Amino acid sequence: MQIEQELAQFVCELQVADVPASAQRVMRQMVMAVVGTGIAGADEDGIVALRDLLREAGGTPQATTLVFGDRLPAHSAAQFNGTMCRALDYCDAMAPGPHIGSALFPAALAAAELAGGCSGGEFMAALAAGAELSSRLNLSEAQYDGFDPTGIAVPFSAAAAASRILKLTPEQTLHALALVFNRCGGSFQSHVDGSLGVRFVQGWVAEAGVQCAQLARRGVTGPVNFLTGHYGYRHLYGRGTLDPGAIAANLGREWLLHRMVFKKYPSCGVTQGMTELALALVGEGLQAQDVRSVEVRLPPYAFKLVGKAFDPGANPRVDAQFSAAYCVANAVVRRSSKLQHFAPAQVFDPALREMIERIEVVPEPAMNARGHAAVDLDVTTNDGLTRKRGLDIPPGFPGADLDDDQHLARFRDCLGYAPMRVASAQADRLLETLQGIARLDDVRSLVPLLVVR
């Protein structure tokens, strides 16, 4: 059996009982993170414009949008929900950059509505299969080399989950994955330039997954050698250094989705460590007025993503989320890092600008050996003393996992920040339903709880 066929068969045959409890727990955490972030992101830049565009285009009402409750074609609902779930960049992630859940969950939910229902067990199996595929197709920093990992690895998650829920055959699923291979794309330049393209790539990935599954169900074929062919994934994105055999090795026995990251702070993954270090110094008594200078040292990959001089433009939240200087200054001045701190009005706070001017961010190639998100932070105070701190594994990364209370706090923080407030009774019922999602008779019973009246 070819590797591509093996992946398709895995998607079709995986049962929720085959998914270990630890992997199911990661999937529940992923869903909580995505749902909370999506509800909180309903009023962010670009969301109204996208909603207006999709409603104007119309089409058969097949699936529901989060918060607003609009009925749209399934692929359009997936696109809207995926975009909104990424808008605050507080969803799940994985080094060196793919955001899986904010495309996977919207695609799976839209497919469940399109299919006329789906048990919670089937839904969780679809999520696990999709997340595992993208985890295995995730590449290294050198292989991505500027491609947006979400746009490259995650389309397979969305297509896999939609295919499973729509009950495609293994052959049809193979073609859905092959078709979505042709939808891979996106650049990290969206992040560097602080553009809304970051969140829109997420929506396009969710849309493509649903649409490719629908096309494959109708008999449309794709390049079935999408991994191993001359111009397949191995060549185009693996740059000839990807071992296809490793992608399927121990499939269903070893779960790479355990590498998923859940952010403690609402900003880019590579800013988590520096935020943690700055807040630790604050906890030791550091005061903003005592800081003379700060040096932040990062591996070159992280520096390219968040190291440029902070100069907020048309999308200040994105600029702040992807700025090392802003994240450190925010932690020192405001003594915390919350969703509201990245709102445009707070991004332009003069007190923060003054601190940012004291911060220098520099690349350090030797830090590559310490990992994707390693950081060193040197803070010099007005008395001439320098406090040196370093961190290789930020909070929320594998090896420094958030506990259940921290996941719950993230979720509650998102609902508290949401522009359209969720009533307390609905929030409690939503949380209870998410935590028991595998036991639902029909996952569509979750949908009314995701709409804010």
Q: Are residues 233 and 284 in the same domain?
A: no
Question: Quick one: pLDDT at residue 183?
Answer: 97
Q: Residue 316: give the domain boundaries.
A: 269-391
* 77/214 Cα distance (integer angstroms): 14
d(CA 226, CA 36): 34
Task: Return the pLDDT at 218.
Answer: 98
Q: Strand 92-93 relative to strand 71-72: parallel, antiparallel, unpaired?
A: unpaired
Mark whether 164 and 313 lie in a shared domain: no
* pLDDT (0 to 100) of residue 382: 97
- How many Cα atoms within 13 Å fall on the side-chain side of residue 166? 28
Phi first, then psi: what are they for 121, rounded to 5°? Answer: -65, -45
What is residue 82's predicted lDDT score, i.e. its pLDDT?
98
In a domain, 54, yes or no: yes
Residues 226 and 311 in one domain: no
> What whole-number distance in Å separates Cα of residue 88 and Cα of residue 38?
8
Cα first-last separation, the chain? 50
Question: Measured over all CA atoms, what is the biggest interatomic distance in the chain, rounded to whole angstroms?
Answer: 72
Q: Per residue in 63-93, pLDDT tens? A: 999 999 999 999 999 999 999 999 999 999 9
Report yes or no on 178 lying in a domain.
Answer: yes
Residue 28 burial (C-beta neighbours within 10 Å; 0-12, 13-18, 19+): middle
Which of 391, 410, 428 terminates a domain? The answer is 391
Given 346, 364, 391, the domain boundary residue is 391
Residue 396, domain member (yes or no):
no
Do 285 and 151 reside in the same domain of the chain? no
CB 39 within 8 A of CB 423: no
The conformational region for residue 270 under phi > 0 = left, psi -120 to 50 = alpha, else beta, is: alpha
Scanning 269-321, the segments in alpha helix (DSSP H) are 272-283, 300-306, 316-321
Report how far residue 328's alpha carbon sits from residue 331's, in angstroms, rounded to the nearest whole number. 5
SS3 of the chain: helix, strand, coil, percent, to 5:
55, 10, 35
- Tokens found for residue 102: 């904010």
pLDDT of residue 343: 94
| Torsions phi, psi for 214 (to 5 deg) | -65, -40
Amino acid 372: pLDDT? 87
Retrieve residue 294's tokens: 């700060």
**Same-domain check for residues 241 and 164:** yes
- The CATH number of the domain holding residue 209 is 1.10.4100.10
- How far apart CA 185 and CA 150 sit, in angstroms, is 8
Cβ-count burial 266-304 (b if 16+ within 10 Å, e if not): bbbbbbbbbbbbbbebbeeebebeebeebbbbbbebbbb
Rounded to an integer, what distance in angstroms lies between the CA atom of residue 212 and that of residue 144? Answer: 23
Q: Which helix (H) or strand (E) holds 410?
A: helix 404-417
- The reply to whether 152 falls in a domain is yes
Residues 159 and 122 in one domain: yes
| CATH number, domain with residue 283 | 3.30.1330.120
The verdict on 203 and 288 lying in the same domain is no
CB atoms near residue 100 (< 10 Å): 32
Which residues does 179 contact at the CB level (< 8 Å), separation at least 6?
159, 212, 215, 216, 220, 221, 222
- Does 181 share its domain with 273? no
Examine residue 329 and state whether it is found in any structural domain, yes or no. Answer: yes
Q: 100 lies in a domain?
A: yes
Predicted pLDDT at 394:
97
Q: Let me know whether 254 and 308 are in one domain.
A: no
The low-confidence residues of the chain, meaning pLDDT below 70, are: none
What gap in Å lies between CA 62 and CA 317, rounded to an integer? Answer: 32
Residues 380 and 434 in one domain: no
Per-residue pLDDT, 453: 79
DSSP run (H or E) holding 387:
strand 386-391
Helix 404-417 × helix 424-435 angle, to 10°: 140
- Distances 298 to 36, 368, 374 between C-alpha atoms, Å: 30, 9, 7
Percent of the chain with pLDDT over 70: 100
Q: How many CB atoms lie within 10 A of CB 451?
A: 17
Q: Which of 391, 192, 375, 393 is nearest to 295 (CA)?
A: 375
Residue at 180 is within a domain: yes
Count of domains for the chain? 2
- Specify the pLDDT at position 309: 95
- Do 157 and 12 have their domain in common? yes
* CA nearest neighbour of 288 among 335, 253, 247: 335
Does residue 397 belong to any structural domain of this protein? no
**Do 280 and 189 share a structural domain?**
no
The last residue of a domain, from among 391, 426, 442:
391
Output the pLDDT for position 1.
74
Element (H, E) at 149: helix 149-153
160 contacts 126 by C-beta, under 8 angstroms: yes
